[in-house]
Structures are given as C-alpha cells and as structure tokens.
Amino acid sequence: MGRYLGRKILIYGLTFFLAVTIDWLIPRFMPGDPVTNMLARVSVNSDAAAVMYDYYSHIFGLDVPVWQQYINFWVSLFHGDLGKSAYLFPTPVVQVLLRAVPYDLFLLLPSILLSWYAGNHFGAFAARSKWLDSTASPISYILTATPYMWLGILLAWFFGIVLDAFPVAGAYSFSLRPDWSWVFILDVLHHWFLPFVSLFLVGFGGWAIGMRNMIIYELEADYSRYLEALGAPRKLIRKYAFRNGLLPQITGLALQLGVVVAGALVTEVVFSYPGIGYLLLAGIQNQDYFLIQGCFLFIITGVLLANFAIDLIYVVVDPRTRLGLMGETA
C-alpha cells in the first residue's frame, strides 16, 4: 500500500511541478507581450505608455532575469500570492478565485457523484434485459456524444425561455442579498438546477454505457460461469459482476475528471454561473493573464486533489493495492 501511494504521490508531485511550469512558461514565451497587450487597450501617448510599461512590468515582476522570475513565481505561489487581477485591479487573484470556488463545488460535486452513482446503477439495470438494453443504450450514446454547452443551451432555451420555469443566468436573483433565509436558499437552488441537470445528463450517459459493457464482460468471465454452473441465483452473480465492474469505473472517474471540468466550464458560460469557468472566460476576454494563470492553477490543484482522493478510495475498495499486489497499473 505504501508503495502504491508513494508512486501516485510522486506522479502527482511531478504533474504539479510540470503544470506550474507550463503555467509560468506560456505567457512569457507566447508571441506578444502581456503588458504591451494590456496597454494597447488604453490610448495614451508614447511617453506615458513607457512609464506605464515600466510600472506594470514591475508590479507583475517582469523586470528581473527570467530564472529569477521563475523562482519568484514558486515563492509567491507558496505564499498564496498569485498576483493581482488586471480586470478587477487591484483585487488579488486569490481573492477573486476564492469567491468563485464555492459555486464550483456546489455545482460539480453533486453532478459528478450523482451521475456516476445513477449511471452505474442504470447501466447495470439496463444490461439485464435485451429490450431495455436496446432502448437505453442508444439514448446513453446520444447523451454522451452531446456537447456540454449544447445540452445547456437547449435546457436554458426550453425550460428558461419557452416554459419560463427556470432562470437562465447567475447564481441567484439580483434583487436578493446573500443570507441564510429560505427565500435566498430556494432561489439559489432554483438557479442551480438547470446547470446541474445538463452536467448530470452528459455524465450519466457515459457511466451507463461503461457499466453496461462491464457487466456483459463480467458475466462472460469464468467465475460467473462457474457460479452459474453451481446453480447460484442470478441476482447473486449480477451482484458480483457489478462489484467487479465498479473498479474500472472508479479509475474511469479519475480519468474523466478533466473532461468534466471542461464541461463545467462551458456550462458555467452558458448559464453565466459565477464559478471558475466563468472567471476564466472573463480573464480571456479581458486579456487578464494573471487571472487566467490563477484559474489554471486552481483547476489543476482541484483535479490533482480529486485524483488523490479517488486513489485513496481505490485502496479501500480494491484489496490488491493494500496487499502490495499489482492492482491497477500505476
């Protein structure tokens, strides 16, 4: 178990190092200079521009040698300092991001976990009969092939505009002020529902297909055949097949996280939901490089932590990793 986790931690450490380096590299080595780009939007005479250029270069730490910039980047990172947002100047990027994180957790955790749970159970259920399989499978394939934003757009249009049953923008009504009253909580849930459903549905289709295939595969395995020959009840064999099919689905959850994060990003854009995805778009549109960098770091850290959590769960559910046997190929 120690070896398994040790290896994982090493990989995550390397990944984090690489991700931070990419994050640092991109604005410095892409064509165009962030400070020039930023100043290009305000029209001032060239003398004033030169002064402003020096000023902003200094603030953003771009006036020292490259190697020192890299070290400074790491040092300030560990101090929790990601620079100042240019678009919401002078709010520190960390503060901007921390305001958005609760919305992301509130949207992502339920949609990921519930779609995984419901999809797996539905897939196992659909694999039971030919009739159910031939109707449920095509629906699942269509769902998993749907681009996240299109499903979001359709839901927003149909339930928000045509039926006028749900709001289509923001996390709560502008007329309300955040507090712990029932009115506010209900309003937040009302705004949360459609983005949640669109994330849930796409994920649901993928998990259902995965589980259905796993069950069919497991029912062909020797242990199932043996149990069948012994005359074990079908329910018991299916239970074992489900448990075995669940392991690859847990690994799949870890692999799928990046896709879900991207999906959440566009869903937030469709519904103007004020999470990290929405911020990232604002950063891109306003060429706020420090905000973009900060969003990327937050996303990476979140995904790595979630991956690690899944690894820990894997240790619990798969005894082979605990006993030091090769469970999942690391």
Partner 1 sequence: MINQLKKNEFLYFGLRNKKLVVGLAIILIFLLLAIFGPVIVRNDPFAYVNPMGPQPPSSEYLFGTTFFGQDVFAQFVLGLRATFLVGALGGGLGTLIGILVGFTAGYRGGIVDDVLNALTNIVLVIPTLAVLLIVAAYLEVRSVFTEFIFIGLTAWPWAARAIRSQTFSLRTREFVDLARMSGMKSLKIIFSEIAPNMMSYLVMTFILQFGGAILNAATLDFIGLGPTNTISLGLMMQYAVMWGALLLDMWWWFIPPGLGITAIVGALYVMNVGLDEVFNPKLREM
Helix (H, G, I), strand (E, B) or coil at 92: strand
Helix (H, G, I), strand (E, B) or coil at 231: coil
The answer to whether 300 touches 82, Cβ cutoff 8 Å, is no
263 CB neighbour count, 10 Å cutoff: 24
119 CB neighbour count, 10 Å cutoff: 26
CA distance 238 to 123: 12
The mark string for 31-60 relative to partner 1 (x by CB under 8 A, - otherwise) is xx----------------------------
CA distance 22 to 20: 5
Q: Per the structure block, which two tokens stand in for 128?
A: 């039971």
Quote the Cα angle for 126-261-313, to 5°. Answer: 65
For partner 1, the binding residue among 11, 62, 114, 227 (CB under 8 A) is 11
Quote the Cα angle for 80-302-285, to 5°. Answer: 75
Q: Does 285 bind partner 1 (CB under 8 A)?
A: yes
Write out the E strands in 60-208. none
Binding to partner 1, residues 126-165 (CB under 8 A) = 138, 141-142, 144-151, 153-154, 156-157, 160-162
Closest listed residue to residue 192, CA positions, set 162, 159, 176, 169:
169
At closest approach, how far in Å is the CB of 127 from partner 1?
Answer: 14
Q: 48 vs 66, which CB is nearer to partner 1? A: 66
Helix (H, G, I), strand (E, B) or coil at 84: strand
Q: 6 vs 178, which CB is nearer to partner 1? A: 6
Binding to partner 1, residues 294-313 (CB under 8 A) = 295-296, 299-300, 303-304, 307
Q: Phi and psi dihedrals of 42, rounded to 5?
A: -105, 130
Number of residues that bind partner 1 (CB under 8 A): 61
For partner 1, the binding residue among 102, 178, 258, 319 (CB under 8 A) is 258
For partner 1, the binding residue among 280, 318, 321, 327 (CB under 8 A) is 280
Q: Phi and psi dihedrals of 92, rounded to 5?
A: -65, 145
At closest approach, how far in Å is the CB of 32 from partner 1?
Answer: 6
Q: 51 vs 158, which CB is nearer to partner 1? A: 158
Closest listed residue to residue 206, CA positions, set 307, 120, 313:
120
Q: 211 vs 265, which CB is nearer to partner 1? A: 265
The mark string for 212-241 relative to partner 1 (x by CB under 8 A, - otherwise) is --------x---------------------
For partner 1, the binding residue among 40, 51, 255, 323 (CB under 8 A) is 255
Q: 45 vs 329, which CB is nearer to partner 1? A: 329
Mark the segment that binds partner 1 (CB under 8 A) among 29-37, 68-76, 110-118, 233-241. Answer: 29-37
Per-residue burial over 295-321, b if 16 or more Cβ lie within 10 Å, else e, is: bbbbbbebbbebbeebbeebbeebeeb
Summarize as ranges the residues that interact with partner 1 (CB under 8 A): 11-12, 14-15, 18-19, 22-23, 26-27, 30-32, 138, 141-142, 144-151, 153-154, 156-157, 160-162, 168, 220, 255, 257-259, 261-263, 265-266, 269-270, 280-281, 283-285, 287, 292-293, 295-296, 299-300, 303-304, 307, 329-330
